[in-house]
A and B are shown apart, each in its own frame.
Chain A
Amino acid sequence: MVTLAIQVLNSLYYASSLFLIACGLSLIYGVMRIVNLAHGSLYALGAYVTAGAVLLAGTQPSGLVFLLLPAGAFAVAGAGAILEPSLLRPLYARAEEYQLLVTFGLLLILEDVMRFFWGALPLSPSAPADLLGSSSILGTTYPNYNFLVIAVGLLAAALMWAFVYRTRFGVILRATSQDMRMTSALGVNVKRVYVLAFAIGCFMAGLGGAITVPITGAALGMGVDALVLAFVVVVIGGLGSLEGALIGAVIVGFFRTLGINFFPEVELAILYLVAAVILLVRPAGLFGRP
């Protein structure tokens, strides 16, 4: 019973961080039909910026360190606002192969940018997680910081939903995703929509990295690992669907916890197989538009 509760919390924690990465990936694909291979690296960039900021702030533990957490998210959103017009905009008219390649090139570049600024050694800014301490759940200690991550994930999902389905810009976003030309003909500045959508997607990825870095730390190559998991999430949920990203993240979080506990050898293989089976049965994913 106790382990069950802990495992459920663990899967929610995984799901929360996965959702933050995957929903940006899905949003960017949904609006501009680009599969962003550099998305994992943007997540890593968010982790590094926050880690760097927290470590710079010094060893003195104080509540102010929590104010530094969003730094990664905003930095990555800014990077996205620069990258979209400069790298991606010239490629919308071309075959999607080229878009994949440019984002792959961006991945390689970002990897070394992080190496340049923060070095090859992993960073572990655990101050925020240490500050929150841990609480006892049915006799087992569980870090309080994990609750924060789960809360941020849920909050992000709710805000994202409200933003896309309940605001004027959300309507424009959905219209652009359905028919870019028509929306443009109706007088919407599609270029601006693209920049904003890409920046929001980047913000979510950066937030995912920033919020989990006190626990997981920042290391080179983490973006490449994260991307594959985010892929599994969006493939299960459906590329371009927000609900799909949420459900996909919960499914992957659950299977991952299950796998780590019962089949540690094939833990990752199970995830890919689940994704492959879902693609076979429903090629557009659970919530995707075919």
Chain B
Amino acid sequence: MSAMDPSPVRPGFAGRLRAAALDAVLLLLLPWLIPPYQTILLSYGLIFGIAALGFNLLLGYTGLLSFGHSAYFAVGAYAVALLGKYLHVTSMELSLLGGIIASTIISALFGAVCVRYTRIFFAVLTLALSQVLWSLALKFYWVTGGTDGLRVPTPSLLGGLISGTGDKVLFLSRPYYYFVLVVFLACVAILWVIVHSPFGQALQAIRDNETRAEFVGIRVRGYRWLAFLISGVFTGLAGGLWAPLNGLVTPDIIYWPFSGRIVFLTVLGGFRTFTGPIVGAVVFNYLETYAVGTTVYWQFVLGSVLVVLVMTMPSGIVGTVAQLVPRLKRAT
């Protein structure tokens, strides 16, 4: 979007904050307005929203397309599952911390390797590394359960204050939803600050022109690595939140089509905007659930949506709406 954008009303910071607060209040009230199943579905959407926001720090803000983000999501999820199985950790906060630490280590390591390259080589390298983890999870079945995966019991929240031993649906649709919501809002706030900080601006400079960014004095590779790390950690955090909600962690979430799904939902929402990935994640989640529920050919539905999307509205849902709104306003 250029500076000469003709749209007369661009919401300022106060306007955006008000809109965000309104959304947050709506999300707070929703569990009382919609059935539990829908609330759980929304939790999935919010969790993938965190993953997509983290992913988009790389794609949208740094200009690096990772096709291996399933790895960090899965590391977070497996860390929570393994902590529960072998160390009998029931506290969600503790397991989540474990997930964050594990995904920090893995993304720091993989990032150091991957950020030496850009463009297609970056994508292929991230994919190859994520598949190393996939084959390890598959083959070391005595630790990871192989294709059967690991069961993740319902955790307790707030240091045992809210236990997860009661009705599972009730737990997931109320306390756990709020837990996810709080983490989600915190992640949105943190990432918003990051992309609007000097660091975030530097990333965008690298995305737009690497050579110029370097001449301005930005350590391009170091910044890319840091962006990779932050991106991986947020995706890992999402994986950690996802594990108890899903109740089962299998190698499917490390296999490369899962990375494709993270890319898909980010582009669906629009990767040139901050809020796009969140919208994409929630919409994709409903779309997938609906498609899986109505037809066995749900992959066909999703694939067609993706192809049509890329062909006709490459700026995603949020980007397209942002372009349409001023036009509609002028027309009326």
Contacts and interface: CB of A to CB of B under 8 A. Distances in A.
Interface of A: 35, 37, 87, 90-91, 94, 96-98, 100-102, 104-113, 115-116, 120, 224, 228, 231-232, 235, 239, 264-269, 272-273, 275-276, 279-280, 283-284
Contacts of B128: 231-232, 235, 272, 275-276, 279
A87 B307 CA distance: 8
A228 B131 CA distance: 8
A273 B299 contact: no
B327 interface: no
B302 to A, nearest CB: 5
Interface in B254-305: 255-257, 260, 263-264, 267, 296-300, 302-305
Contacts of B253: none
B131 A235 contact: no
Residue of B113, B116, B121, B305 ringed by the most chain A CB atoms within 10 A: B121
B124 interface: yes
B13 interface: no
Interface majority SS (helix, strand, loop, mixed), chain A: helix
Interface string B94-137: 00000000000000000001001101110111011101101110
Given A100-B123, A272-B132, 19 more contacts: A96-B119, A97-B59, A98-B310, A100-B65, A105-B306, A107-B260, A108-B303, A109-B300, A111-B300, A112-B303, A115-B297, A116-B297, A116-B300, A228-B256, A235-B124, A235-B128, A269-B135, A272-B128, A279-B128
B311 interface: yes
B182 to A, nearest CB: 33
9 contacts: A97-B267, A101-B310, A106-B303, A116-B297, A116-B300, A239-B120, A239-B124, A272-B129, A279-B128
Contacts of B267: 97, 101
Contact of A231 (B117, B124, B300): B124
Contact of B132 (A100, A104, A269, A279): A269
Contacts of B296: 115, 120
Chain B interface residue number, banded: 35 or more
Contact of B123 (A35, A87, A115, A283): A35
B123 A276 contact: no
Contacts, number: 126
A107 B256 CA distance: 12
Contacts of A108: 299-300, 302-303, 306
A160 B117 CA distance: 30
Contacts of A96: 65, 119-120
A283 B125 CA distance: 10
Closest A-B pairs by Cβ, 7 of them: A108-B303, A105-B306, A268-B135, A112-B300, A109-B303, A105-B307, A272-B132
B136 A269 contact: yes
A283 B117 contact: yes
Contact of B299 (A111, A264, A280): A111
B300 A269 contact: no
Contact of B264 (A94, A104, A111, A267): A104
B67 interface: yes
A203 to B, nearest CB: 23
Nearest to B139: A265
Contacts of B260: 37, 104, 107
A276 B303 contact: no
A98 B113 contact: no
Contacts of B311: 90, 102
B125 A279 contact: yes
Nearest to A105: B306
Given A266-B136, A275-B128, A276-B132, A102 B310 contact: yes
B132 A105 contact: no
